[in-house]
Amino acid sequence: MAGIRFEFSLNSDPVIRTLWRMAGSLDDLTPLMNDIGQALVNSGTERITSTNTDPDGHAWEPSKRVKEHGGKTLHLTGVLGYTLTHQAAADHVVVGSNLVYAAVMHEGAEQGAFGAAIGRTQPSEKRPRSQDYFTPLPWGDIPARPFLGVSDRDEEEILDRTKAFFASVVNGLA
């Protein structure tokens, strides 16, 4: 069977400039990674402050405080939800919190996973004699309550932001 071969040269300056601009934008995707990071921060904050669900939409196990007094799990003071942040780089983004307890809230921990607080109390008006104490850290099991991750909605948002980024590259805006 005989074939046909067709060759052509592309000499369109606007097309060539656009292709070079797109290729150049792949060297440093920091603006896109920054945009994606902000979307994931917003999503994580919403999970903590509003939905009380993991990225897959499953409800977290309520905390003892919530069971006894109401409110929202991981939202006693609201601090955790508002400490989420991101760091964007040329080819990735990191999302997290600088709070010491954030990882434990996200991953969970068994009673005593971090050792124990051991010491001796000082005498006081309430307690005239000092006492030894041994308290496991944490003092009880803490179930995992994942608040970071990529949900189906996050994935759609990331795709939308990626398309918008490359559309702005093609239009010469990025």
Cβ(136)–Cβ(111) below 8 Å: yes
Query: pTM surpassing 0.85?
Result: no
Domains of the chain by residue range: 26-108+143-174, 109-141
Q: How much of the chain, in percent, has pLDDT values that exceed 70?
A: 95
DSSP structure string for 80-99: GGGS-EEEE-SS-EEEE---
Structure tokens at 64: 């003892």
Which one has a higher pLDDT value, 3 or 22? 22
Residue 158 has pLDDT above 70, yes or no: yes
Structure tokens at 161: 């932001």
Residue 108 has pLDDT above 70, yes or no: yes
